[in-house]
Structure 1
Amino acid sequence: MPNANGRPKHGRRARRRRREDPARNELVSSSLESAQQCLFNQDYGTAFVHYLLVLNLAPVFKDFARDSFRFTLFKWAEELDSVGRIQDLFNCYEQALELFPADEVILNSMGEHLFRMGFRDEAAGHFHKALKLRPDYPEARENFHRVANWLVERWHFLMLNDHGRNCKYQQAIQKAVQSGCNTVLDIGTGTGILGMCAKKAGADEVYACELSKTMYELACEVVAANGMEGSIKILHMKSLEMEVPKDIPHRVSLVVTETVDAGLFGEGIIESLIHAWHHLLLPPQRGENEFREQSATGRVIPAGATVFGMAFECLEIRRHHRLCVSDVGSLSMAAAGELRSPVSCSSEPDDSMEPYTTERLSRLPGGYKPLTEPFTALNIDFNNVEELEGLSSRQVQQIRLPVIQEGELDALAVWFQLHLDEESSLSTGPQEDTCWEQAIYPVHGTRAFALKPHDELVVEVSCRDAYLRLCAVAVVRDGHEIRLDLQHAKTPISNANPEAELCSALACLQTDQTQTKDFCMLECSEMALLNNQDYHQRFCSALAKLISRLKVKCENRQQGSGVPPDFTDPANSTDCSDLLYVLDVSEGFSLLSLIAASQGHVKAYSSVEKNKQQEVLRRLAYSNNIPEQHLEFWLNNSEDEQGMLQRPSREKLWSAIILDCVETCGLIRQKLMEKASLARCLLEEGGRVFPERIVVHGMLVESDVLLLESAVQGQEPTLGFNIAPFINQFTVPVHVFLDFSTLQCRRLSESVELFVLDLMDANANYTNREVKVQATSSGRITAIPFWYHIFLDQEISVSTLSQNSHWKQAAVVLQQPLEVRAGDWVCLAVKLHKSTISISASVDNVPGPMEC
């Protein structure tokens, strides 16, 4: 009963007061003074140690010293990062979070370091904690949105929105459980949906495992919210590490999994199932007699798969995987050597190359042309452990495919039919509305191979390292075989007679024995950039205009001093003191520095870092008559990224600084405006930042596809399970890597100018703008796709929306679709915060100017 006595009772301990400790107080006082002095002297490491001592001994100073402590931590972390003391850096952050566990700024900063080091799961956890502490913290919100795309891939939303696929899996699991599979293991559980299906179907025991920390924590939340926390055991580990009875008490009778990618085996399903059959699953059912003797048997859902393939022509694939042009800007590419994308397939495994990439064939810009009928490449039974173990040692299979129409051989495409059980299956084919893309095996070579009707294409299929590998190795024409894997596409296939083509192929084989197999690898986006002739030609024109103007200015200056300049032959300019200086700080492989140097009387600095790529630039410089001393690799002399923008040698200023402004995915590069501000301070009089201005354009659209790829839709629970509120926490407002030309959407307005970023005039910039756009059709506004017109100068621009662009587009997806009628005015509030664009929309039927 409640205490009736009104006087509070005190224990003996509660009455004793803490004594003052003079020595302790003196230590705190002197350490605080030392910390402040070290901070003043920029001795951040010592200051950090003193602050730790003070705040551990006297927590009362936390509020007083918080800002100084943060500043010290961040500066000391920068120093540790610059010298590679990464473990010490994270130790400092952990010590700081012990003192300030609820400090959103420290959490966000540690997350940024973790993300840069590649620890995306851990980074997201810190950003998420920072947001929970302060939901309006813009830095944490933007960081979380950037990392969420990696943590919870967008296909999770498509998959959960695919009602047909979900029902088929649920029905197959229900049939298996009702037939006696009462103990279930869900491998790669994701949101936990398949494990919950098994429990709902009546399974006695359900276990699940998930490697991703983010998805593991999400699955735990989902399972708990659906009242199954005590009946489904979720393990944060790979199934390959699981043991009986350490992790699960005994073998299970059913494994369910969807660890399949576009190439079927890319997520390690073969290795996982072999391990499961040997260590986690009951033995399989062999036959009727064996079944009578062994009543407890194991099985797998899906039961197996059939893999299909097709050869096709596609300009979009071609320009991302091989060099298609002979000249880039003003440069001949003859001396570039062999350039490859990192995707190349052969029957022999190569750890440096990916065997395939993935694309949604139905959304490829420009479409594709099938050159063969679809063919069956492989059948696999997931319930036959001997077949799984023998997959990697299967003999290479050769398949002859009749060519059905003329075209250039650009790639092989692969998709599959996933057999859940004897009755139900799912297809990932290019004509299916599915969450899977197709696997693409590009054909490399510098020249096209034209296939003709009545040819036969010889394709090899292998699984040497449990990856499905398809490789086009030969063409049979008029009874003669022309080897593609020996030719390296150096000899074009034409209408010449077969004997001549065979002789040519033999000649290539003989020369290949003495030829180096060395090549330079470029990212797919870098290859597409090289093939973007319009981009380089416009840059060439803009650079030529600027350099010509500065040459005249320099000439006038020289004439005034009585020293005649020599602009006639760049090779004569061995003295670099009077040259114009151009700095290219583009991300990745860029030829813009060479294009600048080719103008003459220019010393160009490139930010290309990789040795092989630097070698390519040196070869191109030599073959295009650019003096060796007129090209320098800037980052070779720069200790860190902070040193990228600084004065060139001899205290000269830059004539031009080329900034890489837009990421391939369609977003403005982070810290662009800060870099532009610094760049302007380093320009000589009359110098330019390239580009000088970026204009953002957008349009109102209605697109169900963007909604399905951005969040779980609808009010109804998924298969009766409450999943949406948990996974939708990872919804991001901006959809990236978008091909607007093939996006399934209804356009509800004309394009409109949304925002302008001026890289040459800081006073012209703003952070907020409201724009009115009139709806041209009735519908629901679900998204605002946006793209950029990049102005190199007042007259010359390039568009990220152009057909040959190496950039993709992005779109802001509205949280709630906005109903409009034709003629309605929509007010768009556009904001730019640290290079991140956000857009909100509202209907405003008051006619007015373009700006609200």
Structure 2
Amino acid sequence: MPNSKRKSRHRHKVGQETGRRELVSRSLQSAQHCMENQDFGTAYAHYLLVLNLAPELKNEVKETFQFALFKWAEELDSLARVKDLFACYEHALELFPNDEVICNSMGEHLFRMGFRDEAAAYFYKAVKLNPEFPDAKENFYRVANWVVERWHFIMLNDSNRNLLYQKAIQKAVHSGCRSVLDIGTGTGILSMFAKKAGASSVYACELSKTMYELACEVLTANGFSRQIKLLHMKSQDIEIAKHIPERVSLVITETVDSGLFGEGIVESLIHAWEYLLLPPKPMDCRGDSENYGKVIPAGATIWGMAVECKEIRRHHRVGIKEIAGVCLPETLFFHSPTYTSVVSDETLEPYTTEKLSRVPGGYKALTKHFQVLTINFNDLQELKNFAVRKPSKIHVPVIERGILDAIVVWFTLQLDDEYMLSTSPNDETCWEQAVYPVQGLLDYSVKCGDSVTMEASCQDCYLRLQKISFVTSEDGMDIERNVREKNSEAELCNALASLQTASTQERRWLECKLESTEIALLNNLSYHECFKAAIGKVLSSLSLSEQSLSMDVDSQNDEMNLGKGQKKTVTLDPLYVLDVSEGFSVLPAIAGKFGPVKTYSSVEKEQHQVALSLISEANRFPKETLEFWLNHLQDDSVVLQRPRSDKLWSIIILDVIETSGLIQQDVMEKAAISRCLLHSGGKIFPQYVKMFGMLVESNSLVLETAVQGTDHTLGFNIAPFINQFKVPFRVFLDLSTLPHMPLSKSVELLRVDLMTPYLNNPTREVKVAICKSGQVTGIPFWYHVYLDEEHVLDTSSELSHWKQAAVVLDKPIEVQAGDELVLSVQYHNSNISITVKQ
């Protein structure tokens, strides 16, 4: 009987196994059939079943499973079925937890949807799984700049800043502040200062998932994981008893930006005083601080100064009336995003930032520095009043004649009554200064005796300096230089309706918002003159060719049919020019000067299209000269289509170099499509690009790219953890002001040919002669952009809208004059890598 039961169980198992195999086989066949019919959702479901039933087939079906997953994910994405999309990836990662391709693809979807922290985790895992996976490396470098901003490295390398905070925290803890909350802890360094000083209870909160996980690693490595309670949340969401046991006696924070308030310090401290801190110590109390609350920093003073600065001016004001023969309408006013008069629902930063000590061309102070405002972080009522009080008016006398380009702002942070740090442009500091460009005045010239005026307030978490103008004394009377009368952006978008009926005198000023790099491009006259010459050369050649061909074909018929003395007028079809430059570009208007030409612009924003139409109308172009190409397309991927079924492009203008100093993504793919759509004799601009570089010694490059050892962080081990997020390139670099010592002459590193791609070499070795002894720490690089053999643009030019970039070496290389280094330069999928062969 027992034997009979065993046989029955055995037969049952055999039957189960046979059924499993049959089901797996049928599911595989069904999956393959669905793949052939491009039914990727059903194919994915069948493969999922197969892999759950037969894990031993993982390696066999892995590639086709991945393909089905990615195609099905694309469909789900297009249908906005976000939950289903991520559910598919979660199932896939359960089956293939260590597959770098799936991890990278998951990260790409997360990044596109705005989940940068989560995307970074998947890109990071993909790189860890396969350090040589180029797509994952590029994605990780791209997102690393978002989730761990570069200022983290710079600030952690600022020994003076770290030491001042350490001393102030130590002093507070020794005076009786035993319980501490660190708001916006970042890497956790301030929390570790507090615990090392002897605080009995230390809590820290961090909203960023990436920074929270990084802080966990740092605290563990330094032996504080059990001594500091780390919360992944916003400080305003912390509740007593639920998250921390009781109110604390000390809050420490550095949630300040270059404009002081941009990270929400006022709002977070109002909440802290109301719900998380002990009451402040009375003025007449002389005991210790154990039963009272306080904040580090205790307060701040914001300072300002009016300056003249050509670099700021060329990025925020269009200072020309004509660009390569194209007249700009007097009624059209371009401004940068910092301009505050435009009606908008967006809360935009009202300032940009600059390291004034390194701004190209320097700056000139037009006023003495003046106090903008002060704030006491240890006074709850002042904090509450500060957020709602009316703007204060400021008048500052002019001490130097010049051009009013900006108000520059910095602050002194009073950590306590003894320790203070300054972000002044005159101090050695990791901080940049906030810059409020002056825009919208009729006149910007000031002289001694004038007064610069403005209104200062704190709104929407930002310090706002508005209504910047100046008062000048003429004939004993004070006259205010008013701003232009302008319409809102909505009025700009309705302007075309009245273009044909309104006279110049009747029209009001019309505004168009551009990025600062787009304004710098408009101000770059040599760029546009170079394009004008190259465009004219191609269009003239093609026009002559078409005219000659037309005359040859019709010449005999013309002679027979036309009477003596009659002339035939040859009507040529227009030549087609497509501009797919990034952002706002007037190149279509420049091409339109060479009629008969039909130009297509790829600008997308409605106000930019209106601005280009205004320029076209002001230059008396026929209405059909300019079209907006993306208006005709439902899919951006077909942006390089032909204009008509029977026509090809004469010129296609591509952006090859990003303003950051790197080569544009997918540029070679666009070039390959473009070559197939060109008229005989047509050209892609640029036709090729040469990349140049040199070896330098620069401590600044090193400190701005990675945390260096433990000395700067006062003995705490932070570098290995945050340096996981360092990137090999330093972008948006201005080589003219970078502190560095050249160790070699410039050399050609790479050639990227768009017209004749067979000339491209993806891997190249370059020998570089050392002309000065030192330590090689970086390789800055820039480009010569060849529109053709005669017309070349240099991205390192002083007036260029482009910045430069640099490769930063992991370890310095000692070199002597007369040595020779070999650089290995690789170019793959628009990504460049440069390594030193030793």
> Deviation of residue 517 (structure 1)?
7.5
Aligned to 1:812: 807
Letter of the 1:773 counterpart: V
> Deviation of residue 462 (structure 1)?
1.6
**Are residues 1:527 and 2:519 paired?**
yes
Aligned to 1:123: 119
- C-alpha distance after superposition, 1:514-562 (max 9, x if no partner): 9868622111111111111111111111001001111111112222332
Change (3 A) 1:580 1:420: same
Change (3 A) 1:629 1:26: farther
1:463 is paired with a residue whose SS is: strand
After TM superposition, the structure 1 = structure 2 runs for residues 388-787 of structure 1, keeping only pairs within 5 Å, are 388-445=383-440, 448-471=443-466, 472-478=468-474, 479-487=476-484, 519-562=511-554, 578-714=573-709, 716=711, 718-787=713-782
Aligned to 1:284: 280
Aligned to 2:72: 76
1:20 is paired with a residue whose SS is: helix
Aligned to 1:850: none
Distance 1:96 1:46 in 2: 15
Unaligned runs of 5+ in 1: 1-12, 491-510, 566-574, 844-852
Unaligned runs of 5+ in 2: 1-8, 488-502, 559-569
Change (3 A) 1:81 1:596: farther
Which has the larger displacement, 386-395 or 79-88? 79-88
Distance 1:485 1:83 in 2: 51
Distance 1:642 1:81 in 2: 16
Provide the TM-score with structure 2 as the length reference: 0.91
Letter of the 1:557 counterpart: L
Aligned to 2:34: 38
Aligned to 1:383: 378
Whether contact under 8 Å (1:82, 1:640) holds in the other structure is no
Change (3 A) 1:300 1:318: same
Alignment match of 2:207 (pick from 202, 211, 229): 211
Which has the larger displacement, 264-273 or 322-331? 322-331
Whether contact under 8 Å (1:310, 1:373) holds in the other structure is yes
- C-alpha distance after superposition, 1:719-770 (max 9, x if no partner): 2211111011111111001010100011112111111001111110011111
Aligned residue-pair number: 801
Distance 1:686 1:294 in 2: 82
Aligned to 2:301: 306
2:776 is paired with a residue whose SS is: strand
Distance 2:275 2:608 in 1: 47
Change (3 A) 1:241 1:110: same
Distance 1:373 1:348 in 2: 33
Change (3 A) 1:448 1:484: closer
Aligned to 2:220: 224
Distance 2:18 2:508 in 1: 77
> Deviation of residue 58 (structure 1)?
2.9
> Deviation of residue 383 (structure 1)?
0.4
2:143 is paired with a residue whose SS is: helix
Aligned to 1:792: 787
Whether contact under 8 Å (2:485, 2:508) holds in the other structure is no
1:578 is paired with a residue whose SS is: coil
Change (3 A) 1:217 1:517: farther
Letter of the 1:153 counterpart: E
Alignment match of 2:313 (pick from 318, 322, 344): 318
- C-alpha distance after superposition, 1:15-62 (max 9, x if no partner): 996752555443332222122122222332332233223323333322
Which has the larger displacement, 184-193 or 130-139? 130-139
Letter of the 2:825 counterpart: V
> Deviation of residue 599 (structure 1)?
1.2
Which has the larger displacement, 811-820 or 598-607? 598-607
Whether contact under 8 Å (1:324, 1:446) holds in the other structure is no
Change (3 A) 1:399 1:347: farther
Whether contact under 8 Å (2:580, 2:652) holds in the other structure is yes
- Percent sequence identity over aligned pairs: 56
Distance 1:193 1:14 in 2: 64
Whether contact under 8 Å (2:694, 2:746) holds in the other structure is yes
1:773 is paired with a residue whose SS is: strand
Change (3 A) 1:519 1:263: same
**Are residues 1:250 and 2:243 paired?**
no
Distance 1:16 1:735 in 2: 66
Letter of the 1:51 counterpart: Y
After TM superposition, the structure 1 = structure 2 runs for residues 14-163 of structure 1, keeping only pairs within 5 Å, are 20-163=16-159
**CA RMSD across the alignment:** 2.7
Change (3 A) 1:836 1:43: same
Distance 2:119 2:677 in 1: 35
- C-alpha distance after superposition, 1:125-184 (max 9, x if no partner): 111011111122222112211221122111111111111111111111111111111111
Distance 2:530 2:173 in 1: 64
> Deviation of residue 365 (structure 1)?
0.8
Distance 1:15 1:230 in 2: 56
Letter of the 1:819 counterpart: E
Letter of the 2:38 counterpart: Q
**Are residues 1:296 and 2:275 paired?**
no
Letter of the 1:483 counterpart: E
Change (3 A) 1:680 1:295: closer
Which has the larger displacement, 370-379 or 331-340? 331-340
1:199 is paired with a residue whose SS is: helix
Provide the TM-score with structure 1 as the length reference: 0.90
1:47 is paired with a residue whose SS is: helix
- C-alpha distance after superposition, 1:685-713 (max 9, x if no partner): 11111100100011111100000001111
- C-alpha distance after superposition, 1:628-676 (max 9, x if no partner): 2222212122223311122222242211111111111100011111211
Distance 2:723 2:334 in 1: 41
Distance 2:77 2:548 in 1: 47
Aligned to 1:840: 835
2:462 is paired with a residue whose SS is: coil
Alignment match of 1:829 (pick from 802, 821, 824): 824
Distance 2:819 2:129 in 1: 39
Letter of the 1:194 counterpart: L
Distance 1:427 1:166 in 2: 13
Distance 2:750 2:176 in 1: 62
Distance 2:349 2:184 in 1: 23
Change (3 A) 1:649 1:192: same
Distance 2:509 2:388 in 1: 27
Which has the larger displacement, 790-799 or 650-659? 650-659
Whether contact under 8 Å (2:698, 2:739) holds in the other structure is yes
> Deviation of residue 577 (structure 1)?
9.0
Whether contact under 8 Å (1:335, 1:620) holds in the other structure is no
Change (3 A) 1:658 1:607: same
